[in-house]
């Protein structure tokens, strides 16, 4: 792609602009879901006054949004732990494979060298 392309920088990493936009969109969606659930909950209480209903909807939505964000934080933390664990396992496996290939190459080289010496 040419340097003056519209897409230059479109592959920004997670620390870039797109991560912030993603967080904003997720937060907005969670807030909207919390409001919908709050309205559905308050509809089950037909005896409430308008003010009471508004208070309950506001409290329910705030509680739901906080719980949702707490769950997201736990999932994110666990995801980071798993990523670190897998990276560590990958490095170990890569080291083992490289060692096996190195040893295998050495053995094959020695066997071929001995075969050439014996063949003379």
Mean pLDDT of 111-119: 92
pLDDT of residue 20: 77
pLDDT of residue 56: 95
The rounded mean pLDDT for the chain is 87
- What global pTM score does this model have? 0.60
Mean pLDDT of 14-26: 75
pLDDT in tens, 60-85: 999 999 999 999 999 999 999 999 99
Q: Is the pLDDT of residue 1 over 60?
A: no
Q: What is the largest CA-CA distance in the chain?
A: 104
pLDDT of residue 65: 92
DSSP code string of 11-78: T--TTSHHHHHHHHHHHHHHHHHHHHHHHHHHHT-TT--HHHHHHHHHHHHHHHHHHHHHHHHHHHHH
Percentage of the chain lying above the pLDDT 70 cut: 86
pLDDT of residue 70: 94
């Amino acid at each position: 792609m040419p340097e003056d392309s519209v897409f230059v920088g479109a592959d920004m990493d997670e620390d870039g602009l797109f991560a912030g936009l993603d967080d904003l969109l997720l937060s907005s969606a969670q807030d909207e879901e919390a409001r919908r659930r709050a309205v559905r909950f308050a509809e089950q209480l037909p005896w409430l006054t308008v003010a009471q209903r508004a208070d309950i909807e506001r409290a329910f939505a705030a509680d739901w949004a906080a719980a949702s964000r707490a769950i997201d934080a736990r999932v994110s933390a666990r995801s980071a732990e798993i990523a670190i664990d897998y990276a560590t396992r990958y490095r170990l496996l890569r080291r083992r494979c490289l060692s096996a290939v190195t040893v295998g190459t050495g053995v094959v080289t020695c066997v071929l060298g001995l075969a050439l010496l014996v063949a003379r």
